[in-house]
Amino acid sequence: MIERRDFLKKVAISGVALTSANGLTSFTSRFPDTPNNSEGQGIIEKEKDTLSAVWKFDFDERNAQLILQNLNVTLKGKLRFLSDDTPWMVCCSRDGVANRNTLVDPRGDVQGYWVLNTVGTQLELLFYHRTAQRFAGRFSFEGTIFFSEDAFPCRTKPVVGERVLNLMSGFADSLLNDSLFSPKDDLLLQFTAANFRIQTVVKGEFSFRLSGRIEDAAETVFVFNMEPGYFQKRYIPYYQPIDRKRCPVVPTGWMSWNTYFDKASAEDN
């Protein structure tokens, strides 16, 4: 039988373990099972992943190609930096800080940095000047996204004071889109950048481009947010995708009564 003091001690020291995955760190916690005192067994520790979405990445300095992966989503593209319309090299670390990658000017000198950080289910790509530098330039990430075949571009971030409702039927591209959503998996991939564009190539494949100016701090971070259970965690606790065998086409239409109630007359319609 386990003494109460020993049990509490083991609970207290069960902490957080860090495991590296292709350069990024994923978090796993260790939780003790309740001991079965009747059988005289000790505490059995099991590893439980605290993040359902873990980012992995691979960067090839030879062609500045960055690959990001999370669940069943892959982003593959090229990193670029232009200053005064002159291309710089986007490279790996050149000092003792392994995860601090570099922006190298045409003379071969490191003048800036770019890093990847995970914050919960988010991945942040941050780019910034080296100390005492203040040059202007534009950093960009452009390429292709591979997602589920049912995924489609959409908009999930409302604007303050917005009075226009955007509705789309089927696959429709818009400069307002900021996300990709898979109804089958209830999985959302949301993007944040000063300048963002996403377009449908074919089912499950999309072209994208994020960019920002290094001299403006508000534009120096790209955020990739993966949210499993997007609708289930928000609006529809018992979310299930539409059964396309029963309803192959989503019903669409316009009902002014639902929008204007008794303020609309027959003449308005």
The Cα 87–Cα 217 span in angstroms is 21
Of residues 111 and 260, which shows the higher confidence score?
A: 111
pLDDT level of residue 253 (50, 70, 90 thresholds): confident
pLDDT at res. 110? 96
pLDDT at res. 158? 85
pLDDT level of residue 249 (50, 70, 90 thresholds): confident
C-alpha R_g of the chain: 24
pLDDT at res. 23? 39
pLDDT at 98 over 50: yes
pLDDT at res. 255? 67
pLDDT at res. 50? 34
Mean pLDDT on 194-223: 97
Of residues 212 and 3, which shows the higher confidence score?
A: 212
Of residues 15 and 172, which shows the higher confidence score?
A: 172
pLDDT at res. 247? 80
Instruction: Output the pTM of the full model.
Output: 0.73
Mean pLDDT on 83-89: 97
Tens-place pLDDT, residues 135-163: 999 999 999 999 999 999 999 998 888 87
pLDDT at res. 259? 67
- Amino acid sitting at position 161: G
pLDDT at res. 39? 38
Residue-range domain boundaries for the chain: 4-49, 56-228
